[in-house]
């Protein structure tokens, strides 16, 4: 009787605990010594195959981190970046109430290709910063936050950047700049070129490239004639025998 009572009380105590943080992503590649800070303040070094849960903050330090989220999204974080997964819930490839992802870019840069959550319902996906919020409609984009503000570049799809005073859609190959929370997003042509072309400006996300099969030449390529070396005698090839000579008119 006492044992049953103890088991019952234990189950009630476990049920009263908050739910474990849901797994959000897995580390697929990294350089340097990046680390993750859990919601309770515990710090751990990241390694390949390591898990990122909701509530974790990633500090890349002098390295890079590439993540694969459970909904198929991929994200690359560049050096000197701090990024937090505030909330992540994914119930599979169907619409479920409560599904969604909320993340925060604290500083640094990222580039991402969104997954199922971002493609199915744009309201399920948000990346917050200190000056603006990034929403998407199924896309690939990059963002960088530093002392000058927030830069957002769209590579594919459409991104919506909203400050406290205005929102702006960012089309492919466009970059907007938000200098402060109280300022509207501004189109920046020179920033776009720097983001797209500067070496190391944004880390790359893996791209699956289609293999192309080259056509086989219809005419045989004649073999290269090797020139004689310094110790080789020049020679004159013999005429082919009549049996193998081609027909001549």
Distance, in Å, from the CA atom of 53 to the CA atom of 119, rounded to the nearest integer, reads 21
Residues 6+ apart with CB under 8 A from 157: 114, 136, 137, 138, 139, 140, 141, 172
Mean pLDDT in residue range 12-25: 56
Q: How confident is the model at residue 158 (pLDDT cuts 50, 70, 90)?
A: very high
CA pair distance 52, 24, nearest whole angstrom: 6
Report pTM: 0.69
Query: Does residue 17 carry a pLDDT above 90?
Result: no
Cβ pair 76, 109 in contact under 8 A: no
Helix (H, G, I), strand (E, B) or coil at 46: coil
Q: Distance between CA 1 and CA 9 in Å, rounded?
A: 12
pLDDT, residue 14, reads 34
Looking at residue 220, its pLDDT comes to 55
188-203-108-123 Cα dihedral, nearest 10 degrees: 70
For 30-84, how does the pLDDT look when each residue is reduced to its tens digit (9 = 90+)? 999 999 999 999 999 999 999 999 999 999 999 999 999 998 999 999 999 999 9
């Amino acid at each position: 009787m006492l044992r049953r009572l103890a088991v019952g009380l234990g189950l009630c105590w476990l049920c009263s605990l908050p739910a474990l943080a849901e797994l959000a992503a897995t580390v697929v590649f990294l350089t340097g010594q990046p680390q993750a800070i859990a919601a309770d303040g515990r710090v751990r070094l990241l390694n390949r195959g390591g898990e990122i849960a909701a509530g974790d903050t990633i500090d890349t330090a002098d390295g890079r981190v590439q993540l694969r989220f459970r909904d198929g999204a991929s994200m690359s974080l560049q050096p000197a970046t701090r990024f937090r997964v505030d909330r992540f819930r994914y119930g599979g490839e169907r619409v479920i109430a409560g599904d969604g992802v909320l993340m925060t870019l604290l500083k640094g840069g990222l580039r991402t290709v969104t997954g199922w959550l971002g493609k199915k319902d744009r309201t399920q996906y948000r990346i917050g910063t200190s000056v603006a919020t990034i929403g998407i409609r199924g896309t690939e984009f990059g963002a960088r936050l530093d002392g000058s503000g927030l830069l957002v570049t769209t590579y594919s799809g459409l991104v919506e950047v909203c400050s406290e005073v205005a929102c702006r859609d960012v089309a492919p190959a466009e970059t907007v700049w938000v200098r402060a929370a109280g300022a509207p997003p501004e189109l920046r042509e020179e920033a776009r070129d720097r983001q797209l072309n500067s070496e190391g400006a944004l880390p790359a996300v893996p791209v699956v490239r289609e293999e192309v099969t080259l056509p086989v030449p219809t005419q045989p390529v004649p073999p290269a004639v090797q020139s004689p070396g310094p110790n080789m005698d020049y020679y004159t090839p013999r005429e082919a025998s009549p049996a193998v000579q081609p027909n001549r008119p």
